[in-house]
């Protein structure tokens, strides 16, 4: 194995773990933020704006609203900022968000790696069934794009955004997991079980967000390229690809399924057989793999930093309004 690339997997695992731990911290902080409105004497906790990352449909809605009006909606503005950040890095850095940052992708990876340890391998779905199932995420994406991107006019969005429901939709999302129904619990258990058996089951077959990012990633200037003269046909790249791409049979990896995780590059034993490259017009060249996550994270936080600097990050909902609305949501869930 090319020792110069052996650091790639530990680097990726460290980045993924860091973002997962940060996500857990944000979730805990938001839980404490909600509890202050339900428990007398609870310490005051500031709402973490990053929690809006769990509202991708709201981000899509806010994105369309911005395109038509030039206005960033003030209720969950960080949802819009992160939606733009994720789309932006996918245009430039392939599906690097999925492969390096997304906490759901990280949990999915841990799950299939556990399955690999238990069974000695992961299972494969037949080619025809696999293609059919992969279409589901594009169908779901199409439904959201039609309902929000086509059918929902900006004036309808305004009417929805000023409702109490939308103002605390983040609290409702939290309750979906902390006070989940039996049906929700069994569906999640089923997804976990399938993810143990099959690599990245949710990401591969059902994630509409990933489908959108995969389409955008086709425009990325970055590609993994295989040098046929230096390839030893050892099958390592194909065998270890977490998205099941037959890397060994490709000259350039253009697939919408590619996470940009560089796992294939890190496993390649032949120097120069697999490289991360860029193509900008007539200019092209080889990129040092460690630069990929550096640029990815820098671009992601650049957009977030712009949102913060322009005061388009924190929600403009007054504290007093949360005092009124959060207990109402709690009462609603208590009746179920």
* Average confidence score pLDDT of the chain: 94
Task: Kindly give, in sequence order, each residue whose CB lies less than 8 Å from that of residue 313, ignoring residues fewer than 6 positions away.
Answer: 49, 77, 78, 81, 304, 307
Report which DSSP code applies to 100.
I
Phi/psi zone of residue 281: left (φ > 0), alpha (ψ -120 to 50 degrees), beta? left
Q: How many angstroms separate the CA atoms of 209 and 151, rounded?
A: 19
- What's the rounded mean pLDDT across residues 298-305? 97
Q: Hey, which bits of 31-77 come out as E strands?
A: none
Domain boundaries, the chain: 3-334
Judged against a pLDDT cut of 90, whether residue 41 lies above it is answered with yes
Name residue 286's beta-bridge partners: 277
pLDDT digits 0-9 by tens, 178-214 = 998 999 999 999 999 999 999 999 999 999 999 999 9
Judged against a pLDDT cut of 60, whether residue 2 lies above it is answered with no
pLDDT confidence band for 147 (50 / 70 / 90): very high
pLDDT score recorded for residue 282: 86
Name residue 121's beta-bridge partners: none
Name residue 280's beta-bridge partners: 283
The answer to whether residues 211 and 130 touch, using CB atoms and an 8 Å cutoff, is: no
| Other CB atoms within 10 A of residue 55 CB | 22
Q: How many angstroms separate the CA atoms of 27 and 171, rounded?
A: 11
Cα of first residue to Cα of last residue in the chain, in angstroms, is 57
Phi/psi zone of residue 184: left (φ > 0), alpha (ψ -120 to 50 degrees), beta? alpha
| Other CB atoms within 10 A of residue 173 CB | 16
Lowest-pLDDT range, 101-105, 176-180, 238-242? 176-180
pLDDT score recorded for residue 241: 96
């Amino acid at each position: 194995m090319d020792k110069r690339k052996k650091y790639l997997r530990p680097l990726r695992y460290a980045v993924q773990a860091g973002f997962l731990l940060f996500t857990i911290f944000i979730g805990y902080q938001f839980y404490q933020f909600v509890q202050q409105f339900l428990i007398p004497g609870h310490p005051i906790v500031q709402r973490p704006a990053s929690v809006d990352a769990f509202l991708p449909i709201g981000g899509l809605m806010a994105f369309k609203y911005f395109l038509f009006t030039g206005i960033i909606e003030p209720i969950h503005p960080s949802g819009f900022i992160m939606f733009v950040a994720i789309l932006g890095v996918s245009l430039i850095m392939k599906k690097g968000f999925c492969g390096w940052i997304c906490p759901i992708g990280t949990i999915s990876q841990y799950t299939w790696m556990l399955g690999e340890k238990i069974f000695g391998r992961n299972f494969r779905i037949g080619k025809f069934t696999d293609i059919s199932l992969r279409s589901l995420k594009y169908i779901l994406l199409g439904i959201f794009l039609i309902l929000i991107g086509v059918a929902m006019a900006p004036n309808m969005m305004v009417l929805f955004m000023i409702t109490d429901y939308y103002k605390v939709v983040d609290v409702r999302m939290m309750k979906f997991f902390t006070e989940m129904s039996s049906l929700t619990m069994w569906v999640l258990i089923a997804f976990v079980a399938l993810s143990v058996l099959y690599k990245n089951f949710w990401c591969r077959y059902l994630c509409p967000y990933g489908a959108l990012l995969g389409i955008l990633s086709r425009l990325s200037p970055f590609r993994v390229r295989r040098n046929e003269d230096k390839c030893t046909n050892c099958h390592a790249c194909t065998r270890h690809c977490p998205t099941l791409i037959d890397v060994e049979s490709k000259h350039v990896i253009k697939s919408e399924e590619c996470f940009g995780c560089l796992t294939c590059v890190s496993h390649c034993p032949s120097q120069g057989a697999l490289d991360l490259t860029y193509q900008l017009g007539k200019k092209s060249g080889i990129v040092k793999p460690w630069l990929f996550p550096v640029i990815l994270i820098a671009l992601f936080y650049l957009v977030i930093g712009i949102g913060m600097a322009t005061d388009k990050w924190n929600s403009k909902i007054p504290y007093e309004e949360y005092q009124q609305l959060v207990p109402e949501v709690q009462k609603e869930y208590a009746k179920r």
